[in-house]
Structure 1
Amino acid sequence: MINFENPAVFAGLLGIPLFYWALQYFQNKQLSQIAIWGQHWEGGLQDPQNKSSKIFRWMASVFLTLLVIALANPRHGLESTSTTMAVKDIFIALDLSKSMDATDLPPSRLEVAKKRTIQFLDEMKGNRIALILFAGESYLAMPLTTDPMSAVSMVSSLNTGQMALQGTNIKEAANIALEANKRMGQGDAIFLLITDGEDHEGGALSALEKLADNGFDIFIAGIGTEQGGTIMGPEGVLTDEEGQVVRSQLNKHLILEMAEQSHGIVLDVNDTNWSRKVDSAIKNNQKSGTVERKYKSYKSYAHVPLLMAALVLCVGFYFSRIGFSKKMTLLLFVFTSVTSLMKAQDPKPFVEGNRLYQSEKYKEAQKKYEEGLKTKEDARAQYNLGNSQYKSGNLDEAVQNFEKAAKTLPNKDQQSKAWHNLGNAQYKKGRLGEAIEAYKEALRLNPGEKSSSINLAIAKQQQQKQQKQQQQQSEPKNQKDLNQGGAQGEKAEKNEPNKGKSEKPAPSKNKGNNKNESDMTNGKGKSNPESGWSEDKAMLDHIEREEQKVRGQYRRGDGKFSKIKKPW
C-alpha cells in the first residue's frame, strides 16, 4: 500500500486552479493589449494560438500537480539494511553488602553503583546481560537476556536490605558466573565486579583467576573512597559489637590485586562511560561473537512523479509561445529545482544516521540527524536525534527533541514512545515529577504499555523515597530534643530508687521471692500498672533480639554453619 511521508503538502493542490485562472487571465490580457494596437482578429477567425495556449495551461497544471505529489514523497514497501556487530555475554556482579550504604560517595555507594550500572546497561544494548547479587551469599538474580530494560528495572529497585545474610563473598559470585556461563553462555564472557573491595569470606583472588582461565575478561569497579565513610542503618549510624562507629573504606589494594591476578581492568567510579572500555575489549577480542542487526526503511518513489513532471514540461514547451532562449532558461531553472528537490527528498543523512545508531556510534549518528534536519523537518528524525543525544549523555538537548517529536509524530504509538523516552531523560536528570508526568502521557496514548508502567512505578517509588528522606532531614532537631528529654527522664526514674534504696529488690538479688511474686500475679509476671511494663514481655523481647543477632552472625553453607566475619 502506498503511503506519503509528507501528506500535508497536498494542500498545495488547492492553489493549482488559482494558477490556471491566473495564467488564463494574463494570456487574455496580453491578447487585449494586441487588440488595442489594431491587430485584432476579425469576425469568425480564431486566434491560431488559442488552442495551444489552452494545452499549455493544462500541461502546466499537470506539471505542478506531479511536483506536489513528488514533494509528498510517495513510498511503498520496505527495504532491509543490515550491519554486523561484535557481542558478548556480560555477567554483572553487584555488591549488596551493608557497607555499600556508606556515605563517602553521596548519597551512598549503592546509589552511585546503581546509577553507573544503569548507564552501562543502557549503553551495552545488543549484548546478553546477566545480573548476580551478592553479600554474605550470592544468587543469579537475572539469567542472560538481551532485554536491558528488565535489568534496569531490577537494578533501580535494589537495596542492601534485600540480602538476608550480610558480609562480602566475592568468591561465590564468581563461581555463580562461571557455572551460569557453562550452562547458558556461548563461551568467552565478561565479568563486571562492582564492589567496595571488602572480601570477608576470602578466596576472591583464586576465584577471579579461575574465571580468567576459563575465558572471562575481568573488569572491577571499586565503589567508595580510601578515606571511607559511616554506614547508615534504619536506627542511625551502624556500630560494632563494642559500640564503636563502623567506618568502611574502599579496599583499593585488594581491588588492584584482584585485577592483577586475573589480568583484569579497573574501572574508575568517577568515569561515566564504563561501556567505552568494555566495548573496546569486546571489539579487540577475536573470540567475540557477532550478530547481524537488520533495520528497515521505506522505499521512496518520489523520482517517478518528478520524471513525469519533467516529461510533461517538455511537451508543454512545444505548445507554448515562449522564445527558444527563454525556454532554455526555464528548462535550466526547472532542472535545478528538480535536482534540489531530489536532494531534499534524499533520506541518505537519516538512513546513515540510523545505521550509525544501530552500530552504537551515537555521536556520529547525532551529526547525521542534525545534518538532515537542516534541509528537511522530520518528526521521526527529531525523535531519533533525541535518542542519540540521550545515549551520548546530552540530556538537555534530548529532552527538547523528545518534546518536539512527541507533539509532531504522526500516530499515537510513536508519540507514546517519544513521551516514554522523555520520561527516561527527565528521570536521569533527577526531575522525578516531570518524568512521572511523561510516563503518564505515554500510557494515556498507549494504555497498558509494559515498559512505561514499570518505569512509572519506579519513578513514583523513588519520589516517595526522596520525600521520606526530606521529611526525616527536616525532623532531626526536634527528634534530638525529644530524645534528650526522654533520656533524662529515664535516668531520673532509674536513679530515684537508688537514692531510696529501692522499695523492692532487683530480680537478680531476690531469686527466692520470684516464684511467689509470679504466683501472686497469676503467672503473668511482675508488672508496673502505671507504665504497662511486663517482665515476661521484656524478657521475650530480649531473647528475640539476641536470636536476630545470632542469625545475622551466621550463614549456612555445605550443610553446616560458618561464621561471617563482619555483618556489613
Structure 2
Amino acid sequence: MFRFGEPTYLYLLLLLPFLAAFYLYSNYKRRKNIRRFGDPTLLAQLMPDVSKYRPDVKFWIIFVAIGLFSVLLARPQFGSKLETVKRKGVEVIIALDISNSMLAQDVQPSRLEKAKRLISRLVDELDNDKVGMIVFAGDAFTQLPITSDYISAKMFLESINPSLISKQGTAIGEAINLAARSFTPQEGVGRAIIVITDGENHEGGAVEAAKAAAEKGIQVSVLGVGMPDGAPILVEGTNDYRRDREGNVIVTRLNEAMCQEIAKEGKGIYVRVDNSNSAQRAINQEVNKMAKSDVESKVYTEFNEQFQAIAWVILLLLLAEILILDRKNPLFKNIHLFSNKK
C-alpha cells in the first residue's frame, strides 16, 4: 500500500502554477522591453554570447525540482507488512439514493451533493470503524464493500452520480436488504445502516426490510434529504427542469412520513437533512452511542520510506542547473553543426 506520511506538504504543489505563470509573464515583459530598444534579431547579433534557451531550461529544471521537493517533504511510503489487528469499533453501511429526484436543489448545492458532503464528514469522524457504501435508485448495488480504508471510501464517494443506475425509482427495501447481507460475519460487532434518501417514488418493502434488519441487531437510521414543499429537478448541463409527458415541470417532495416509519421499525433515528449541519451532528452521536466491539482489520503496520530516489533526482537536477550557464559556452562558440558555411 502506498501512502504519504505528511500529505499536508503536497499543498505546496499548488504554488507551482503561480510560479510558472509569473515566469512566463516575466518573459513576456522582457521580450516586450527588448522590442522597445530595437529589432530583436539585430540585438541578438550584438549579443552573440546571450543564450535564448538556457534561462528557460534552467527555470524548468528548478520548477521540477521544487515539485519533487514538495513530494519528498510529504514522505512517500510503501507498506511492507500486512497484519490483522483488533480495534474497538462498529460497522456502518451507508445506502445512498442516487435517483434523479436527488438532483433537486431545495437543499444546496443539491440533495445529492449535500448527501455526499455529509457522508464525507461522517467518514472523517469514524475511528477504528468499518464503512461500506450502497447506491440505489430503481435497483441497488454495492459501491464499496465494507472496509476500514477511509481514503478509498472517499474516492469512491466522489464518483457517485445518478448515471450509475439507469432504472429509476427508490428501491429502499432492496438497498436495506443488500446492506444487511454486506456486513462481516464477525460476532458481537455493533452494526448500523444509514439510509440517505428523499423517499420519493418509494417502491414498497422498505418498512419490512428495516424491521427484519432490526431483528438481526442491525440499526436502521434514515436521513431525509430535501424539503416537504419540494423543488423542481434541474436537467444536468442545462437551465431547464425535468417535465412530465404533458410538459409540466416535475416537483419532487421529501416523503418524510415514510422515512420516519422506516427509522421507527429499524430501531434507529430519523433526521431531516437541511441547509444546516444538524443532521451531521445527530447521526454522529447515534453512531458513537453504539456498542463498540473488537473489529478485525487488515492494516499495514510497517512502511518503508521512499524519499531516497526522489532526493537523488533532485540532486541531479540541481547539479544540472548549476552546470548549465546562462550564457553560451565559449568552448563551443566556434562549433556550427548546422551551418551552411564551408
**TM-score normalized by the length of structure 1:** 0.35
Residue 222 (1) aligns with residue 224 (2) = yes
Residue 155 (1) aligns with residue 141 (2) = no
1:260 aligned to which of 257, 260, 264 = 264
Q: Is the 8 Å Cα contact of residues 189 and 295 (structure 2) preserved in structure 1?
A: no
How far 1:130 moved relative to its partner? 0.6
How far 1:412 moved relative to its partner? 9.5
1:181 and 1:257, CA in 2 relative to 1: closer, same or farther beyond 3 A?
A: same
Letter in 2 for 1:98: N
1:274 and 1:128, CA in 2 relative to 1: closer, same or farther beyond 3 A?
A: farther
Q: Kindly indicate which of the two structures has a greater share of residues assigned to helix.
A: 1
The one-character-per-residue Cα deviations of 1:455-490 (angstroms, maximum 9, x if unpaired) are xxxxxxxxxxxxxxxxxxxxxxxxxxxxxxxxxxxx
- SS in structure 2 of the partner of residue 181 of structure 1: coil
- Gaps (5+ residues) in structure 2? 1-85, 315-342
- Give, in whole Å, the separation in 1 of the partners of 2:96 and 2:159: 13
- SS in structure 2 of the partner of residue 106 of structure 1: coil
- SS in structure 2 of the partner of residue 237 of structure 1: coil
Show the counterpart of 1:403.
none
Q: Is the 8 Å Cα contact of residues 188 and 214 (structure 1) preserved in structure 2?
A: no
1:86 and 1:266, CA in 2 relative to 1: closer, same or farther beyond 3 A?
A: farther
Q: Is the 8 Å Cα contact of residues 144 and 184 (structure 1) preserved in structure 2?
A: no
Letter in 2 for 1:127: D
Write the mapping of 1:262-281 to structure 2, written as runs, cut at 5 A.
262-270=266-274, 272=277, 276-281=281-286
Q: Is the 8 Å Cα contact of residues 125 and 148 (structure 1) preserved in structure 2?
A: no
Write the mapping of 1:345-356 to structure 2, written as runs, cut at 5 A.
none
Show the counterpart of 2:337.
none
How far 1:108 moved relative to its partner? 1.2
Aligned residue pairs: how many?
A: 219
1:265 and 1:243, CA in 2 relative to 1: closer, same or farther beyond 3 A?
A: same
Task: Name the % identity.
Answer: 31
- Give, in whole Å, the separation in 2 of the partners of 1:197 and 1:185: 32
Q: Is the 8 Å Cα contact of residues 231 and 253 (structure 2) preserved in structure 1?
A: yes
- Quick one: higher RCO (CA 8 Å, sep 6+), 1 or 2? 2
1:184 and 1:108, CA in 2 relative to 1: closer, same or farther beyond 3 A?
A: farther
Show the counterpart of 2:119.
117
- Gaps (5+ residues) in structure 1? 1-83, 297-410, 417-443, 446-568
Show the counterpart of 1:195.
197
Q: Is the 8 Å Cα contact of residues 127 and 146 (structure 1) preserved in structure 2?
A: yes
Residue 246 (1) aligns with residue 245 (2) = no
Letter in 1 for 2:94: I
1:291 and 1:141, CA in 2 relative to 1: closer, same or farther beyond 3 A?
A: closer
Show the counterpart of 2:143.
141
**TM-score normalized by the length of structure 2:** 0.57
How far 1:242 moved relative to its partner? 2.2
How far 1:246 moved relative to its partner? 0.4
Residue 174 (1) aligns with residue 176 (2) = yes
- SS in structure 2 of the partner of residue 180 of structure 1: coil
How far 1:157 moved relative to its partner? 2.2
The one-character-per-residue Cα deviations of 1:236-289 (angstroms, maximum 9, x if unpaired) are 311112221100011111112222222211234245375654454455444x31
Letter in 2 for 1:263: K
- Give, in whole Å, the separation in 1 of the partners of 2:104 and 2:188: 37
- Give, in whole Å, the separation in 1 of the partners of 2:130 and 2:94: 11
Q: Is the 8 Å Cα contact of residues 118 and 152 (structure 1) preserved in structure 2?
A: yes
- Give, in whole Å, the separation in 1 of the partners of 2:187 and 2:245: 44
1:144 and 1:186, CA in 2 relative to 1: closer, same or farther beyond 3 A?
A: farther
- Give, in whole Å, the separation in 1 of the partners of 2:295 and 2:213: 24
Letter in 2 for 1:242: E
How far 1:216 moved relative to its partner? 1.1
Q: Kindly indicate which of the two structures has a greater share of residues assigned to strand.
A: 2
- Give, in whole Å, the separation in 2 of the partners of 1:239 and 1:156: 28
- Give, in whole Å, the separation in 2 of the partners of 1:184 and 1:232: 44
Write the mapping of 1:15-34 to structure 2, written as runs, cut at 5 A.
none
1:92 aligned to which of 88, 91, 94 = 94
Show the counterpart of 2:241.
237
Write the mapping of 1:340-379 to structure 2, written as runs, cut at 5 A.
none
- Give, in whole Å, the separation in 1 of the partners of 2:230 and 2:282: 27
The one-character-per-residue Cα deviations of 1:308-334 (angstroms, maximum 9, x if unpaired) are xxxxxxxxxxxxxxxxxxxxxxxxxxx
Show the counterpart of 1:458.
none
Write the mapping of 1:501-516 to structure 2, written as runs, cut at 5 A.
none
Write the mapping of 1:404-483 to structure 2, written as runs, cut at 5 A.
none
1:257 and 1:174, CA in 2 relative to 1: closer, same or farther beyond 3 A?
A: same
Show the counterpart of 1:165.
167
Aligned-pair RMSD on alpha carbons?
Answer: 3.3
- Give, in whole Å, the separation in 2 of the partners of 1:251 and 1:168: 11
1:93 and 1:139, CA in 2 relative to 1: closer, same or farther beyond 3 A?
A: same
The one-character-per-residue Cα deviations of 1:159-189 (angstroms, maximum 9, x if unpaired) are 1122121111000001101111265786541
- Give, in whole Å, the separation in 1 of the partners of 2:281 and 2:187: 23
- Give, in whole Å, the separation in 2 of the partners of 1:258 and 1:215: 15
Q: Is the 8 Å Cα contact of residues 228 and 249 (structure 1) preserved in structure 2?
A: yes
Letter in 2 for 1:272: N
- Give, in whole Å, the separation in 2 of the partners of 1:261 and 1:135: 21
1:292 and 1:197, CA in 2 relative to 1: closer, same or farther beyond 3 A?
A: closer
Letter in 1 for 2:91: D
Q: Is the 8 Å Cα contact of residues 89 and 186 (structure 1) preserved in structure 2?
A: no
